[in-house]
């Protein structure tokens, strides 16, 4: 059986930027092992598999695989999958609702002059602030010193709105650029709260990178050792929620423009919105642009057709 796939670059408005994603559109009948093998073959940070919804009123069941394992939720896979399904539809819907292991994920389709340009997801879970680690331990994971870690707003802390990450604020753009993953320090730190990844950011954004509010990077285990992700929507959403939660304002909508992937040559722009009511986080959103890159078919060994 020939199965269609589309690849897109997510959180960008131009080809060869953002984070690549493969979307397998005809995933019915594939086993978990086959999905994992296909994701490993694509070798992107994630691959999604679109299945019929299990409940009426939802648009699709979406399963998300890294090159190593299935995960319950991720940012750019939702944004990219929604973009692909909307562009494939005869009559593009204004929003989609995906069933995922972390829960239901609503995704709004973004239009510019009537053209589909991207999508914005709503995080499936409330903000969870989990284990804190020392500045020294977090810095070691990044081959930095404790002096490069800022702790005035928050200590390095695990946070999640569907997928957990270690959140670390870095003191300068120069230190952010200088960071490298340290395998021994990662092994001492992770797994922690179900995570094996570090998302780190700085408020020290130079004039040439404005109007960004933050620049960020993310390190995690890849197919062969530690690697960097060019755009991490789930981590960005958790970071935005954490920062809004720490803000003294009890009500309002907090918006951020966050860059990622710049230092690895795949610049990305992630736009976040966090709604806060009576001192509590009410909803968390992250979105951005998408660019269709490739399409084709695949056939799994042993299948007919």
Model pLDDT for residues 118-163, shown as the tens digit of each residue: 999 999 999 999 999 999 999 999 999 999 999 999 999 999 999 9
What distance in Å separates the CA atoms of residue 197 and residue 256, rounded to the nearest whole number?
22
- For the chain, the average pLDDT equals 96
The H-assigned helical ranges of 28-172 are 32-42, 75-88, 135-141
Q: Residue holding tokens 């929604």?
A: 82
DSSP tag of 235: H
What distance in Å separates the CA atoms of residue 216 and residue 268, rounded to the nearest whole number?
10
Residue 300: predicted pLDDT: 87
What distance in Å separates the CA atoms of residue 105 and residue 2, rounded to the nearest whole number?
28
DSSP tag of 223: T
Catalytic residues: 46
pLDDT at 37 over 50: yes
Strands 252-260 and 225-228 turn out to be: unpaired
Query: What is the pTM (predicted TM-score) of this model?
Result: 0.95
Nearest to 156 by CA among 124, 197, 214: 197
Instruction: Calculate mean pLDDT across residues 13-36.
Output: 96
Confidence at 223, pLDDT banded by 50, 70, 90:
confident
């Amino acid at each position: 059986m020939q199965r269609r796939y589309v690849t897109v670059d997510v959180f960008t408005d131009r080809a060869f930027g953002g984070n690549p994603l493969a979307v397998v559109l005809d995933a019915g009948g594939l086993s978990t092992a086959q999905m994992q093998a296909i994701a490993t073959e694509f070798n992107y940070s994630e691959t999604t598999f679109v299945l019929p919804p299990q409940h009426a009123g939802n648009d699709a069941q979406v399963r998300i695989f890294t090159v190593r394992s299935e995960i319950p939720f991720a940012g750019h896979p939702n944004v990219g999958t929604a973009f692909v399904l909307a562009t494939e539809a005869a009559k593009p819907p204004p929003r989609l609702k995906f069933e995922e292991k972390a829960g239901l994920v609503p995704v709004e389709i973004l239009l510019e002059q009537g053209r589909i340009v991207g999508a914005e997801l709503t995080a499936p879970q409330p903000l969870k602030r989990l284990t804190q680690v020392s500045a020294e331990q977090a810095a070691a994971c990044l081959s930095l010193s404790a002096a490069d870690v800022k702790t005035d707003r928050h200590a390095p802390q695990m946070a999640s709105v569907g997928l957990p990450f270690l959140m670390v604020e870095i003191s300068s753009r120069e230190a952010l650029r200088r960071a490298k993953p340290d395998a021994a320090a990662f092994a001492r730190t992770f797994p922690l709260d179900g995570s094996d990844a570090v998302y780190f950011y700085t408020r020290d954004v130079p004039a040439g990178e404005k109007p960004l509010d933050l620049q960020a990077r993310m390190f995690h285990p890849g197919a062969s050792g530690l690697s960097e992700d060019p755009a991490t929507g789930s981590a960005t959403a958790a970071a935005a929620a954490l920062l809004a939660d720490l803000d003294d304002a009890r009500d309002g909508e907090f918006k951020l423009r966050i860059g990622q992937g710049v230092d690895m040559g795949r610049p990305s722009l992630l736009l976040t919105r966090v709604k806060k009511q009576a001192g509590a986080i009410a909803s968390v959103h992250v979105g951005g642009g998408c660019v269709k890159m490739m399409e084709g078919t695949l056939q799994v060994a042993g299948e007919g057709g």
